[in-house]
Chain A
């Protein structure tokens, strides 16, 4: 998946005047928390506009071919589709905040109910995938950076670029072939929630999560390797080594803190990819998540369900991005300094 990374800004050359620091810092924190709100308004507007652009008239679709114009007008009124566009948007957004995402045109089941029944599957899957990505990508990136030019380094570089050329779902198919068909070790599909015990859940979740995580793990490894190699050549690292600090302390206490920015950004940018990829992965592994809901709704042109799933996914993505940005501010020395 293509991602364009925003590198964290270079640290300022001259330290700002001391009295200025708290204010700048506050402004950064405000920026990191206000921008998502604006962005949310934009993307929810996109979501809603999409529905308004729909050529299919929901009333006509529900009522069938025998509907009279009067019936359609009554139905439109019932759904509130005869009001001005911005009024509908504001109303839709306001009720979304109270947990009301409207009702499906076809089943009349509240959209929020169907979405929140499916969402835990995706969240559990995405959470496990992110955890795996951090562990795999972090270990590979650090290992490659410490033994630069070594066998591990070359292997990581090769695997990372090879993974980038494969559609994410091919990895899923490959895992099924190896672990389910050839080794017969894990189920090829189906799902049991984590509330039924961690191990049964892992049996079903580990393959899809692994399939989802590899792409991001590769990106994390690549970014971490590059920035860690750069940091390890810096004077402060040499200084720390000269002062007699242990290798572990130098790596985790100093170099990694400075090097982690790009990798964390990859993780933040990767969240939409994980959630988007989750749809395909769910389809392959036959999981009862948002994918089935979205695909079925798309096939039926069920606009409220589509809008609802999109809005909820966007909210999750934005929340994750904001968390990553705040973590960057706290974690990296340059974020704390300014």
Chain B
């Protein structure tokens, strides 16, 4: 299972880096006379309502989708892990404030908030991903706190403090190593969630403007033509589902779990 998941993620990674070069056709080239064709040798996944090659659109859209998901998880890590450590080591006032802040962010409805952020700050991928990152922050915040809580009283941490190590040094060398594996597992899970969120947003036309190919965008253009091509959404949906499943498999992996 683990090998399979890694292989799948490697393929997705390759497509993300070199998708535009690999794509057999121009993902933007329209051919109205070929619109809504079923699978053929030239177009293995068929064509969409503008006659664009679906395979090429999916392959070329991988980069945007994956980069967006990774960006949002990165933002979530930064906004979650640092406050998580701060809440444990910087006194009760900071802790209370951060906990309530995290509660507040958790009440923000996922997609509504992302749509609102792009509506106000501009409809770009960075804005959308920042919004998703903010929403992921409580997850990392809580996981970091849970993993770090026992360490605040650990003897080797106390010993390091008694030896006069600075707080920064204690956190960096003694705490981070213990917290990191848990955070890594959570990050793998969160990347799956982020992929789903990115697909939902690009499906709504948030973050990426329509002609540019994305996984969610392909689904959105299938939606209008379900009567003609009821099978069409299966391909992008399967692509998303398999990638998320691979990430989940990796996160659930026993080896990784044992490491923490």
Q: Is B45 an interface residue (CB 8 A)?
A: no
Determine whether the beta carbon of A272 is less than 8 Å from that of B104.
Answer: no
Q: Is B32 an interface residue (CB 8 A)?
A: no
Nearest B residue to A274, CB-CB? B109
> Shortest beta-carbon distance, A160 to chain B, in Å?
12
> Shortest beta-carbon distance, B68 to chain A, in Å?
14
Determine whether the beta carbon of A50 is less than 8 Å from that of B103.
Answer: no
Q: Chain B residues with Cβ under 8 A from A164's Cβ?
A: 244, 248
Q: Chain A residues with Cβ under 8 A from B110's Cβ?
A: 1, 272-273, 276-277
Determine whether the beta carbon of A298 is less than 8 Å from that of B123.
Answer: yes
Q: How far is the CA of A272 from the CA of B113 in the complex (A)?
A: 10
Known: A4-B139, A46-B104, A188-B226. A165 touches B118 (CB 8 A): no
Q: Is B119 an interface residue (CB 8 A)?
A: yes
Determine whether the beta carbon of A1 is less than 8 Å from that of B196.
Answer: yes
Q: Tell me the chain B residues, 207-260 only, with Cβ under 8 Å from chain A.
A: 216, 219, 222-223, 226-227, 230, 233, 237, 240-242, 244-245, 248
Known: A161-B248, A280-B200. A2 touches B189 (CB 8 A): yes
> Shortest beta-carbon distance, A305 to chain B, in Å?
9
Determine whether the beta carbon of B248 is less than 8 Å from that of A2.
Answer: no
Q: Is A73 an interface residue (CB 8 A)?
A: no
Determine whether the beta carbon of A42 is less than 8 Å from that of B100.
Answer: yes
Q: Is A132 an interface residue (CB 8 A)?
A: no
Nearest B residue to A301, CB-CB? B119
Nearest B residue to A318, CB-CB? B107
Q: Is B150 an interface residue (CB 8 A)?
A: no
Q: Chain A residues with Cβ under 8 A from B119's Cβ?
A: 294, 297-302, 306
Determine whether the beta carbon of B237 is less than 8 Å from that of A54.
Answer: no
Determine whether the beta carbon of B203 is less than 8 Å from that of A167.
Answer: yes
Determine whether the beta carbon of B105 is less than 8 Å from that of A2.
Answer: no
Q: How far is the CA of A40 from the CA of B108 in the complex (A)?
A: 10
Residues 263-284 of chain A, each 1 if its beta carbon lies under 8 Å from chain B, else 0: 0000001001101110110011
Q: Chain B residues with Cβ under 8 A from A314's Cβ?
A: 107-109
Q: Is B138 an interface residue (CB 8 A)?
A: yes
Determine whether the beta carbon of B244 is less than 8 Å from that of A294.
Answer: no
> Shortest beta-carbon distance, A312 to chain B, in Å?
10
Q: Is B1 an interface residue (CB 8 A)?
A: no
Per the CB 8 Å criterion, the residue count for chain B at the interface is 52
Q: How far is the CA of A288 from the CA of B19 in the complex (A)?
A: 38
Known: A1-B193, A39-B100, A173-B219. A167 touches B240 (CB 8 A): yes
Determine whether the beta carbon of A42 is less than 8 Å from that of B115.
Answer: no
Determine whether the beta carbon of A167 is less than 8 Å from that of B107.
Answer: no
Q: Is B39 an interface residue (CB 8 A)?
A: no
Known: A46-B104, A182-B230. A170 touches B193 (CB 8 A): no
Q: Chain A residues with Cβ under 8 A from B100's Cβ?
A: 35, 38-39, 42
Q: Chain B residues with Cβ under 8 A from A174's Cβ?
A: 233, 237
> Shortest beta-carbon distance, B184 to chain A, in Å?
15
Determine whether the beta carbon of B109 is less than 8 Å from that of A317.
Answer: yes
Q: Chain B residues with Cβ under 8 A from A1's Cβ?
A: 110, 193, 196
Q: How far is the CA of A191 from the CA of B142 in the complex (A)?
A: 40
Known: A161-B248, A273-B110. A55 touches B121 (CB 8 A): yes
21 A/B residue pairs, CB under 8 Å, sorted by A: A39-B103, A42-B103, A42-B104, A47-B116, A50-B116, A51-B120, A165-B240, A169-B219, A174-B233, A180-B226, A181-B230, A269-B106, A272-B109, A273-B110, A276-B112, A283-B204, A294-B112, A298-B116, A298-B118, A306-B120, A314-B107
Other A-B contacts than A4-B139, A4-B143, 9 sampled, CB-CB below 8 A, are A1-B110, A2-B189, A35-B103, A46-B104, A162-B245, A166-B196, A275-B112, A279-B111, A294-B119
